[in-house]
Amino acid sequence: MSIPGEPNPRKRRLIIYQSLASLFLVIGALFFSINHIFSIWGCPLLLIGFIFAAFALRLTLINHKSTHAIANRWWCIVAVPGALLCCLLLRVELKPGQVEPKPHFKLAIQIGDFPTVFLTNDFLFRRRIVNVGNLSKGRIVANTFVNGCLVIPVPNGQSNMVFNFVAVNDSSVKVNDLTLFVGFPKAFVCGFDSAKWHKADESLIVPNWQLDATNMQYIAAQCPYVLSPHDSVTFPAITNACVPEYIGSTFKGGFIDLTVRSTDFENILGANIILFPVETNYFNPFITLGHLETDGTLHITPTSQELEGAQQ
């Protein structure tokens, strides 16, 4: 029974409450389905939707001759749990340290029949850029130096080195657009399957500058399938017909430049290549620190741990 003298709420107001409740609840749910940032905005929209739904239920009960006490009780039954749910969802979305997972990859190189070498050393991801001259129109000539070295034994009589690059999905995200860019010096005679590798241009972007490589040749290949978490892909082989260059007590090094890209991920690394001539009992390829001189010669001082690892 309604309270005497209390008029029935207008049906027009009830329709407005129902429409607003549906609108805010639907938009709030859609925001949650987009991403983490939209979910934060979706919480207050859901809360407003629950409040309008509670008012709509209250007016419906009063229109059906329920007392205000019963109607208010049902308003609380809808609005209070809805508010608690929205607060819980907002707390989860704002939880410190919670970030949306992004792709991440580890790179490795397979050289002939040697064991795979993972390119994870920190110094492979650092490079030094030196301005060596100025050109017209604000352009400059710069040299890029890296201290990381990839030492590769070359048995006597071997004329070609075969490289296969491996990318491992080191994240919890599925990736369907992984692309690998590989750069070698233009002096290197490289062979590759033109149906799988394509010639590409590559630039290094630093603050206020775009550096275009003029003495490098780049090729690119894309992974042909979706990489689930912890999946790996081996890119098609690249051959190099260069022979070791020995200069006194040092070796003239080449340079390899790698860029891995996918949506929300890019990683650039580089290493000097040392082709080390050997006769018998040769070692496995290994990564070490070195020092590159301005004339292109390399000096390396491998640690005992690196040498032991190369013998395994």
Instruction: Kindly state whether residues 157 and 237 are assigned to the same domain.
Output: yes
Task: Quote the DSSP letter at residue 114.
Answer: S
Q: Looking at the structure, tell me whether residues 273 and 206 fall in a common domain.
A: yes
Is 22 inside a domain boundary? yes
CB atoms within 10 A of CB 209: 14
CB 161 within 8 A of CB 155: no
| Amino acid (one-letter) located at 266 | E
> What's the rounded mean pLDDT across residues 99-110?
87
Supply the pLDDT for residue 251: 57
Indicate whether 51 and 109 sit together in one domain.
no
Structural domain containing residue 189: 105-311
Query: What's the pLDDT at 281?
Result: 67
Residue whose pair of structure tokens reads 């409450």 in the numeric block: 17
Asked whether residue 170 falls in the same domain as residue 53, the answer is no
Which one-letter DSSP state was computed for residue 214?
S
CA atoms within 13 A on the CB side of 236: 17
Strand segments (E) across 170-208? 179-185, 190-192, 198-200, 203-206
The model's pLDDT over 19-34, given as tens digits with 9 standing for 90+, comes to: 888 888 888 888 877 7
Residue 294 resides in a domain: yes
Q: What is the mean pLDDT of residues 114-138?
A: 74
What local confidence, expressed as pLDDT, does residue 204 receive?
Answer: 59
**Of the ranges 76-80, 207-211, 258-262, which is most confident?**
258-262
Q: What is the CA radius of gyration of the chain?
A: 32
CATH number, domain with residue 176: 2.60.40.10
Lookup: tokens for 155: 């048995």
**Residue 2: per-residue pLDDT:** 43
Q: Does 59 share its domain with 134?
A: no
Q: Specify the length of the chain in residues.
A: 312
In tens, the pLDDT along 210-256 reads 666 677 888 999 999 999 999 999 999 998 766 655 554 555 567 88
If one compares 40 and 227, the residue with the highest pLDDT of the two is 227
Domain match, 192 and 275 both: yes
Average of per-residue pLDDT values in the chain:
79
Given a cut of 80, whether residue 182 has pLDDT beyond it is yes
